[in-house]
Every structure is written in structure tokens, then in C-alpha cells.
Amino acid sequence: MKDKCGIVGMYSNDHDKDVSASVYYALYALQHRGQESAGISTYNHQKGINYYCGMGLVSDVFKNDELQKLEGNIGIGHVRYSTTGQSKLENSQPFVTDFEGGYIAMAHNGDIVNSKHLRSHLEDIGYEFNSDTDSEVLCYLIKEEHSKNGDIIKTLEKISKMIIGSYSLVILINDELYALRDPKAMKPLALAKKDDMYVVASESVAFDVISAEFIRDFKPGEIISVIDGELTSHTLEIADQYENARCMFEYVYFARPDSVIDGKSVFDVRLNIGKKLYEEFPFDADLVVPVPDSSIPCALGYSRASGIEYGEGLIKNRYVGRTFIMPSQEERELAVKLKLNPLKEGLQGKDIVLIDDSIVRGTTSAELINILREAGARKIYLLIGCPPVIAPCFYGVAMASKDELIAANFTIDKIQEKIGSDALGYISIHSLVEAIGMDEDELCLGCINEKYPTEIPDDLEAESYYDFLIQSLSKDD
């Protein structure tokens, strides 16, 4: 599984203030959302658009004097994992291109499932692409549509009716800042303020690090613009046509536990997941052990509900990235041993409840079970805080293909046999939804129930859809 991306936007009313350092620290707080590349673009009233992108962690990309060169009181930033597009410098963001006598910079979190069709048309009318990502497609689509109507709100209204998928965007058009959340609210986006500066970001932790005061989450389909220091809000016309489809994986795994997304504390949701796991699987054991870090609150919830002692049975090496970024199976298995080491003294002869957030291919789980058995654990009851992942995601989570998803191809009993645990239990969809505290129809659960909130790629190959797309792109308002 690969994570999504993180985006940040800032606008200060003080023309002499440089926001690049604040953008940097906010991106640092969102580093868990993307470790492949990072980038910042700023606008200075004397010098125009500045930008710098690079491969690696935020601290690696901006390690010399790059920040000092990014002058300007308006800025956007991005950290990336590749979901659409390869891991290479050309695919790093923000994307910057000329625009109506000036420049546009854009950063995107999400995945546009019909981006290939959109790209094909843009290439037909003369656009040349420097990357293979859907984010550059969006950038050029905005540029093309704006050339027809000259109004950015009308442009975003128009393209919202063409694109299928998930997106949160921050857009810098010269000295104007725009931010947009998709009409299904699939990707998180929130607003804050610090003194004279407005801030938008994927998660509230980005506000905490710079001491900005959280104002609220973006509404589904909301565009917030800051022009000449004035903030305005506009809601896409199509927003009323859709039900919300917030990604449940934000709460289960992706978001930092100290974030609050759409009014829900991620930590509290994970604590609730642990309590629900005990209701469904009340094992008698000596110790509750989390797979750090995202499963720690779940294990605490199980421990509190059951009265079984919570224990740190696995010690995490915090200088190793997430194991799912490793390209080969052999490297992934090695990464598990590099990342997690057993605390043998606390495990020997113990029956343990091992809590993890998800099982995708099953190989990491099998390796963990082996590590714990070698450390002397007597029985290992593995509980998972996410229902079985049985289908791929098309909205910005680069999971394995369906052929590689272990739960799509084997029963729970067979999975237990393959990974070698003494018991295996997954939280039910009903309990997960209750733990999040939303109605089921407010969440995207496509990877666990195959009920996707939009058309999916197979549906987009039809000739009738392609004809419709070309007509939409070619027609002026």
C-alpha cells in the first residue's frame, strides 16, 4: 500500500513576509503522507513565482539555502507518494507553468481516474507533458479552460464536471491563492489562521506546528480563495448531487493520530476500533501488543476494554521509512526486520493479542508472526482494525492489484494458516463505521465492500464516455 500526498497553502497580508519557512514546517508535520518528494512554490510581488522541488524527505530537499530563495508572502507546498506516475523528479509538485501573462502553481492530493482520457485530449490540442501524473493533467486542464472564460471559479466549476476521482487542490495563480476540496469530500482539507495569515492543509497537525488556529474543515466541493487579503468561499454546483465519501483509511491508518478530520479525532477513532475489536474478539491473553505506530491507539482501546495489560512487544526503528514503499518483496521482508525488533524479555512464554491496522498482501504479517515466535511468544492472536481489503483503491491509495490482495483470494481461515497466527480476526464493517462515528453512506469503503462512490476505470473505456468527454472539453460555456 502506498500513501497519499499532503498539501499546504498559505497567504499573508504582509507583502514583506516570506511564508516559505512556515510552509516547510507544515510539510514537515505532513511528512507521513509522502516521503518520495517535496516541493514549495511562492509568489513575491517584485520577483513573481519561485519554486523548488526535490526527491526525498522535506529535510533532505530543503537542506541548504533553498528556503531563503523562496521569497514571497503567498505559498503552497506538497509532499508526495506516487499513486499515478512514477517516483521521479519530473513528477514532484507543485507543478508550475505559464498562465495568462503570469504563472500558475498547483499541488494535488488524490487520484483522477479518467486522467488518461483527459491527457489524451490535451495532447491532441498541443499540450506537452513533462510528467506522467494526473496532477499535471489537472494543471493544464485548468489552464485550458481558463483561457476560454477568464474566470477561475467558472473554470473550476467546468472541470469539476469533467473529472472523476478524488482531489484536494491548492492553486497559486500569481498573487491569488485558491484551495478546493472535491464534492464527495474524499480527501481531507482544513482551514486555519495565524495573525494575518490564512493557512490550508491536508491535516490539522500542520496548523499545530506553526501555532495556527484551526477554523474548520472544508465543506464538500468548497472553493476557498484569498485575493488581496480577503477570504471568500464558493461551493461547486455539483456538490449537492453527491453523497459524501470520506476515505475510511484516513482514520484507520494514514492520518496522524493527533489530527482531527471532519470533526473526528483520529486518536479517538482508533481507540474506539480497539474497543470494538474486544467486543467482537474477547480473547484471554497475557498482553496486548500493537504493531507501531498507527495501531498503538487501537491496542490501548483493546487493553482498556479487556483489562489485559498493554505491552510494547515490538520496538520500532524510527529511521526506516514505511515498509510498503519498498519495490520488491525481498526488500519488503528485509524492511520489516529493519523496522521492528521484538522485546524478547516481555514476550517469552506469553499469550499475546497482536493488533495491526490492516493486512494487504499478508507477507508483512507473516514475517511479524515469525519474529514474535522466535522471541518466545507462546500464542499469537492477530486482530486487524480494518475489515478485509478485497479490492483496489482508485482514489489515491496505490494498493496491490486484486490478484495480490490476500483477502480477495483466500478465506480468513486460510489467511490465518498462511501467516501462522493462532487466531485471526478482522473488525466488521459495521463496527468500523460505528468506531468512526459517521453513517456508512458518508464514507468511501470501496476497498472493503467494492461499492465505489464513482465510476471506476473499466467503466471509463466505453466509446460513449470518450465522446462525451471530448464534447465537454471542446465546448465553450
- Closest-CA residue to 394 (of 307, 305, 457): 457
What SS3 state is found at 398? strand
Considering 5, 53, 247, 393, which one is annotated as catalytic?
Answer: 5
213: left (phi over 0), alpha (psi -120 to 50) or beta: beta
Q: Are 289 and 265 in contact (CB under 8 A)?
A: no
| Direct distance between the N- and C-terminal alpha carbons of the chain, in angstroms, rounded to an integer | 40
Residue 68: count of CB within 10 angstroms of its CB:
11
Q: How far is CA 414 from CA 71, 275, 402, 410, in A?
A: 58, 26, 17, 6
Burial pattern 14-43, b for ≥16 Cβ within 10 A else e, equals: eeebbbbebbbebbbbbbbbbbbbbbbbbb
Angle between helices 266-280 and 429-436 (to 10 degrees): 150
Angle between helices 296-306 and 266-280 (to 10 degrees): 50
Beta-bridge mates of residue 171: 106, 178
The answer to whether the bond into 94 is cis (omega within 30° of 0) is: yes
Q: How many helices (H) and strands (E) does the chain have?
A: 18, 23
List of residues 6+ apart from 175 with CB closer than 8 A: 43, 45, 74
CA–CA dist 467, 471 (Å, integer): 6
Determine whether 247 is an active site residue.
Answer: no
User: Residue holding cell 490540442?
Assistant: 125
Burial pattern 190-220, b for ≥16 Cβ within 10 A else e, equals: bbbeeeebbbbbbbbbbbbebebeeeebbbb
CA–CA dist 51, 74 (Å, integer): 12
Helices of type H across 281-428: 296-306, 329-339, 344-347, 363-374, 406-409, 412-419
Known catalytic residues? 5
